[in-house]
Amino acid sequence: MSHVFSYDFRYDDNECETETSVAQAEVEDLVGDIYLNFVEPGTLAQGGGAIDDSRHKLLRAKHEQFIRDAINGLSNSFTLLDASQPWFSFWCLNSLDILGCNISQQLRNRVVDKLSRLQCPSGGFCGGSGQLPHLAGSYGAIMALVLVGGNAAFESIDRPGMYSWLMSMKCPDGAFAMHAGGEVDVRGIYCALVIASLLNIMTPELVKGAAEFIARCQTCEGGIGPYPGVEAHGGYTLCGLAALDILGKTDLLRLDRLARWMSARQLAFEGGFNGRTNKLVDGCYSYWIGGAFSILQKALKRSRADGYIYDRAALQRYILACCQDRRSGGLRDKPGKSPDLYHTMYCLVGLSLSQHYAGVEPNEQVTDITSVYSVPVRMMQWGAMPASLLVLGLRSNVVKPVHPVYSVPYTPLASFVKYFYALPPLADQLV
């Protein structure tokens, strides 16, 4: 497979130079130099040439070593991220699982022990020892425990305490505070609904007003901002769209406007996504926008035959050619940046979603959104469709398929759902 690489696709500032356009040109220079290394010699011309996509290789062993080195110990500089401890467990475990690497029982036990000590007696999980319980930390902890799997991990979760704490974060406008006295935005709704849908603690009181709050966050551009009246952003768009999918209410959005805004996030020259209008490409949006595209496909009732709305191959090209650190392993934001665990995981999730077509065929979608038991059915309807597999470069580049709403592989997710939906629900109906 080849792709025509051309400098004609670079950003045109219309001879009106700004700080933003200068930064964009610098990134394009770095990306262009990388892509030129993949151009077939016989096609090389002043404006570019044909990229030989068969040469792209996922540096699986180096990425695994990068992650395992982090698991074995981080430097003192990471004390700045003390409030993100559950996230480190999530980023590391999910990256290893997506890559198909072994996760030892010793590591699983270590994660359960660590997260149990971060669980608050009043419910929820702290980001670090002695801190307030936080929705982001609680989300990271639950997702890490999904990946650990097994009864010991599942039984370590204080399910009644979690529900009580989530309700204490509930706001009158339908949203959730991230922590007691903390900020209120779409992230909180997403984190709360992911946790509640996984633990089988969805109730009418918990979900009341959440969908309507998200709908009010859709901007004139079409994307979703953190709260009403604020600029649309890729991360909040995924959070809002995924939360609405959990609730079965994506129809509250202007999907045509959303599709247009999301399509504009893929940059013609780089192939990757940015998160906002006039911003630089960033590898993490491979999930925040790439995952949102999977959910949008379902919301628009597009079938597998209709194809994706974005260029899957271009995104894989950017991830494999520009986001991999070939020296130390790990993945990064963009060329010139250092790799980190956050970008490693979200680049891999985006790579997975661009390889495996994740969707639900329109004629198979469950329309019941009132019963609590419709939640796991709609959740597990998602699946990767083998006939639509697209792998750029070596065949060995293929990674595990992931769920676009929950960002983890399907097998551990199914085990978690099976366990918690065998328990009595807190309510039978959601309305």
Q: Which residues are tagged catalytic? A: 233, 276, 279, 282, 284-285, 333, 340, 343
CA–CA separation, 39 vs 16, rounded Å? 31
Contact criterion met (CB below 8 Å) for 83 and 132 = no
- Amino acid identity for residue 218 in this structure: Q
- Nearest C-alpha neighbor of 425 from the set 196, 117, 130: 196
- Amino acid identity for residue 101 in this structure: C
What is the DSSP secondary-structure string of 197-240?
A: HHHT---HHHHTTHHHHHHHTB-TTSSB-SSTTS---HHHHHHH
CA–CA separation, 220 vs 134, rounded Å? 31
The structure tokens 């974060």 sit at 169
Look at the chain and count its residues: 431
CA–CA separation, 53 vs 39, rounded Å? 9
Contact criterion met (CB below 8 Å) for 296 and 222 = no
Beta-strand pair 184-185/176-177 = antiparallel
CA–CA separation, 428 vs 202, rounded Å? 9
- First-residue to last-residue Cα distance in the chain: 50
Handedness of CA 119, 122, 127, 131 (dihedral sign): negative
Contact criterion met (CB below 8 Å) for 60 and 99 = yes
User: Where is 358: in which H helix or E strand?
Assistant: strand 357-359
Rg (CA), the chain: 21
Q: How many other C-beta atoms lie within 10 A of the C-beta of residue 411?
A: 12
- Nearest C-alpha neighbor of 427 from the set 245, 206, 194: 206
CA–CA separation, 194 vs 188, rounded Å? 10
User: Where is 357: in which H helix or E strand?
Assistant: strand 357-359
CA–CA separation, 366 vs 71, rounded Å? 40
CA–CA separation, 322 vs 229, rounded Å? 34
Q: What's the gap between Cα 229 and its chain centre?
A: 24
